[in-house]
Structure 1
Amino acid sequence: MSDTEKKTTQSYLEQLKQKALSQENYGGEIKYEQAGMQVYDCPECGAGRALADGLTVCAYCGFKFMTVTLSDGIHIKKIDNS
């Protein structure tokens, strides 16, 4: 390799390094937060459960945390079994 090829290669690598150092994260700045858990205790037996979407019954004693009644909606229709 000649000296000019080495210089252009080095300058190209330096340009890539500068771009890598100056680029931002896709999600923006990183926010550091204290680790934690969201836990809700069963009022009947005291067992803990994570607040997960769709969890409606205690796995230990069967206590119903919420009762959901489905009605006619855009995509959900009641089934008429008569």
Structure 2
Amino acid sequence: MQEENVNSFLENLKQKVKNQNNYGGKTEINKAQINVRNCPNCGAGRAKQDGVTHCSYCGFEFINTKLTDGVYIKKEDNSI
């Protein structure tokens, strides 16, 4: 009787392993890629990242940002 319980327990475990799903869903298979952008001023290559505003070699400005008053954040007043 003890051996039957062990066998049925092992069979139940094996069945649960076969039926379980991966955490986070199914794995997506994509082709390898590199996100690179060249500086239009000097041609230096850099990794394309959000938030990078200037070329580290020549100083060319990729993104011109100006701060304005927001709901929670106010631009600094340096005249005080």
Normalised-by-shorter TM-score class: 0.7 to 0.9
Aligned to 2:13: 16
Matches within 5 A, 1:19-38: 19-38=16-35
CA-CA distance at 1:27 after TM superposition? 2.2
SS in 1 for 2:43: coil
CA RMSD of aligned residues (A): 1.3
Unaligned runs of 5+ in 2: none
Q: Deviations over 1:38-69 (max 9, x none)?
A: 11110011111111121111111111100111
Matched length: 79
Unaligned runs of 5+ in 1: none
SS in 2 for 1:57: coil
Q: Which whole-Å CA distance do the structure 2 matches of 1:31 and 1:81 have between them? A: 50
- Look up the equivalent residue of 1:17 and give its one-letter code: K
* 2:52 pairs with 1:50: no
- Look up the equivalent residue of 1:57 and give its one-letter code: H
Q: Which whole-Å CA distance do the structure 1 matches of 2:71 and 2:17 have between them? A: 48
**4+ aligned runs moved over 3 Å, structure 1:** none
Q: Which whole-Å CA distance do the structure 1 matches of 2:36 and 2:44 have between them? A: 10
